């Protein structure tokens, strides 16, 4: 049943229009209240309407979302946090609502989690990547879908988020970092733990405000040379990589570095040299204690 057919059916079966709704706007069907021995407060008409709209939004049928958008506009109902949460769990739903010209919807999302159930088919990845830059208030983006979906279109699109501060792309089995991501001028915290990275792009210098970089549990065999261009970097984790050698002078160019973690063998071998090249690094951290 199309959404126009649903609308016609509800209009035909719905009793008289509520006083505050104009006659040419259909009203929502009243939800049936479950019977219970415990007295419960009856929902107001507005609460009933809001609950029915949430039922539309819980649906994966986009025609129901078209109805919900129409009723929200016609009845001038206030959005609550549950509405945003329901929509924020699905790429298809977010893509639809992003086209509804609702500034408050775009402004609400300051953090977004993309898990394994966020996409239902591969075509949604490119579609969502195309509208992701519209979420201009987004500050934290977490990719928690692992290797099950292709994360690269999303990471590339994330570079266009003007307020993005933190990006998590861990446990993805990712072999390379998209060059486009290095265009992010606002990114400060980049979490790339437990991937398959063995090198970093030359365009890394585009991350001019990056302060934190976690490259632990990857496949680096040597310290990435391009790290020296990250002049704001304060925290660098390279532990649990199969690194064979290290260039202390390269790390010495990171003048703001205060927290450094390396593969245990290299940390032991270069300990004294690193202390001289990196006077601001805190070598009292637990991972610099080799007694055990």
CA-CA distance, 25 to 33, in Å (whole number)?
24
- The mean per-residue pLDDT over the stretch 255-281 comes to 96
Angle value at C-alpha 208, between 244 and 107, nearest 5 degrees = 120
Tell me the residue length of the chain.
Answer: 292
Q: Which residue has the higher pLDDT, 278 or 2?
A: 278
What are residue 217's phi and psi, to 5 degrees?
A: 60, 50
Q: pLDDT, tens digit, for every residue of 119-154?
A: 999 999 999 999 999 999 999 999 999 999 999 999
Residue that has been written with the tokens 């980049």 in this structure: 190
Residue 160, classed as helix, strand or coil, is coil
The pTM score is 0.85
> What is the average pLDDT across 9-14?
47
Residue 5 pLDDT greater than 60, yes or no: no
| Weakest-pLDDT range from 36-45, 180-189, 202-211 | 36-45
Segment 89-106, tens digit of pLDDT:
999 999 999 999 899 999
Task: Answer whether 193's CB lies under 8 Å from 214's CB.
Answer: yes
Q: Residue 56: CB partners within 8 Å, gap ≥ 6? A: 64, 65, 67, 68, 71
Identify the CA nearest to 239 among candidates 215, 262, 206, 272: 262
Task: Give Cα 57 to chain centroid, integer Å.
Answer: 21
* pLDDT band at residue 77 using 50, 70 and 90 as cut-offs: confident
Quote the strand ranges of the chain, DSSP E. 111-115, 140-144, 166-169, 189-191, 212-214, 235-237, 259-261
CA nearest neighbour of 243 among 265, 218, 221, 219: 221
Give dist(CA 130, CA 139) in Å, integer.
18
Sign of the alpha-carbon torsion through 91, 96, 99, 103: negative
């Amino acid at each position: 049943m199309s959404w126009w057919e649903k609308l016609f059916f509800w209009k035909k079966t719905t009793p008289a229009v509520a006083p505050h709704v104009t006659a040419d706007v259909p009203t929502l069907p009243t939800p049936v209240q479950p019977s219970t021995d415990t007295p419960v407060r009856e929902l107001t008409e507005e609460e009933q309407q809001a609950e029915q709209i949430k039922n539309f939004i819980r649906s994966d049928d986009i025609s129901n979302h078209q109805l919900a958008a129409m009723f929200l506009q016609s009845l001038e109902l206030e959005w609550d946090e549950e509405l945003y949460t329901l929509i924020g769990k699905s790429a298809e739903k977010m893509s639809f609502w992003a086209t509804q010209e609702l500034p408050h919807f775009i402004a609400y999302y300051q953090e977004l989690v993309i898990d394994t159930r966020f996409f239902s088919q591969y075509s949604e990845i490119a579609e969502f990547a195309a509208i992701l830059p519209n979420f201009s208030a987004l500050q934290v983006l977490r990719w928690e879908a692992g290797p099950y979906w292709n994360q690269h279109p999303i990471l590339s699109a994330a570079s266009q988020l003007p307020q993005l501060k933190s990006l998590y792309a861990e446990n993805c089995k990712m072999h390379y970092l998209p060059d486009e991501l290095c265009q992010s001028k606002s990114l400060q915290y980049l979490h790339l733990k437990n991937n398959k990275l063995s090198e970093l792009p030359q365009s890394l210098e585009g991350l001019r405000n990056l302060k934190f970089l976690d490259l632990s549990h990857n496949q680096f065999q040597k310290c990435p040379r391009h790290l020296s261009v990250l002049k704001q970097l304060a925290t660098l984790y390279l532990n649990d990589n199969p690194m064979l050698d290290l260039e202390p002078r390269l790390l010495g160019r990171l003048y703001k570095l205060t927290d450094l973690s390396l593969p245990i063998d290299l940390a032991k071998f270069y300990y004294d040299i690193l202390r001289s090249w990196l006077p601001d690094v805190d070598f009292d951290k637990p991972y610099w204690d080799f007694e055990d």
